[in-house]
A and B are shown apart, each in its own frame.
Chain A
Amino acid sequence: KNQVEQSPQSLIILEGKNCTLQCNYTVSPFSNLRWYKQDTGRGPVSLTIMTFSENTKSNGRYTATLDADTKQSSLHITASQLSDSASYICVVSALRGHSNYQLIWGAGTKLIIKP
């Protein structure tokens, strides 16, 4: 069964600190993995997309890693800011034939940054 599991469920850190969020998946055949940020009361916004051949990708203070062998991804946030408080959702795309795919959404990690 295709699944995406994220940990921790929630995380509280102090402003300026770093943190790492985890995403484990059992999705096959794998197409790509995406991290979304969802601010409270708003729709998700894409942060990064990673394909099978990519190990690391950065977007400002956000760095995503992908280990396709162990089927794990992480999102590292450096020098956290109050505006980083949000839910971070991992989404894995599974191929279902030509131009047909399925998106499997994780439950998200709720991150709270405290001043």
Chain B
Amino acid sequence: DTAVSQTPKYLVTQMGNDKSIKCEQNLGHDTMYWYKQDSKKFLKIMFSYNNKELIINETVPNRFSPKSPDKAHLNLHINSLELGDSAVYFCASSQMTSSGTQYFGPGTRLLVL
């Protein structure tokens, strides 16, 4: 069974549209994350939720809004998509400790035209 799953795997859309990416983990972890990996392959954390509470919110445009309905889900909604939003978005989960290994999903490849 997939530990961390994301949907969709690929997303191609026009500038200005609103889109959502879903993430689910079945590992029983209490913390979930969203990362953005751009064309230079640098992973940058966007958000982190612990027990449905936002604990990390890096400098991300407020067009990006995470939503955590429960501990096993963390969805990412993006309003008014821009060309620069094109990237691979990874969801991850872990136990909330500094040594908690993060388990990553397969990524969602977003292309904004």
Q: Which residues of A contact B (CB under 8 A)?
A: 31-32, 34, 41-46, 49, 51, 87, 89, 93, 95, 99-101, 103, 105, 107-108, 110
Contacts and interface: CB of A to CB of B under 8 A. Distances in A.
A107 B4 CA distance: 23
Interface of B: 4, 40-45, 55, 90, 92, 96-99, 101-107
17 contacts: A31-B98, A34-B101, A42-B104, A43-B90, A43-B92, A43-B106, A43-B107, A46-B102, A49-B101, A51-B99, A89-B43, A99-B96, A99-B97, A105-B42, A105-B45, A108-B41, A108-B43
Given A43-B92, A89-B43, A95 B105 contact: no
Q: Residue among B4, B96, B99 with the most chain A CB within 10 A?
A: B99
Contacts, number: 48
Contact of B41 (A42, A45, A51, A87): A87
Contact of B106 (A42, A49, A107): A42
Main secondary structure of the interface of B (DSSP, over half): loop
Nearest to B56: A102
A108 B38 CA distance: 13
A44 B104 contact: yes
B35 to A, nearest CB: 9
A33 to B, nearest CB: 11
Nearest to B91: A43
A95 B98 contact: yes
Contacts of A108: 41-43
Contacts of B104: 42-45
Contact of B43 (A34, A45, A105): A105
A10 to B, nearest CB: 10
Contact of B107 (A32, A42, A46): A42
Nearest first, the 5 A-B pairs at minimum CB distance are A43-B104, A101-B98, A31-B98, A46-B101, A93-B98
Contacts of A51: 99
A49 B90 CA distance: 21
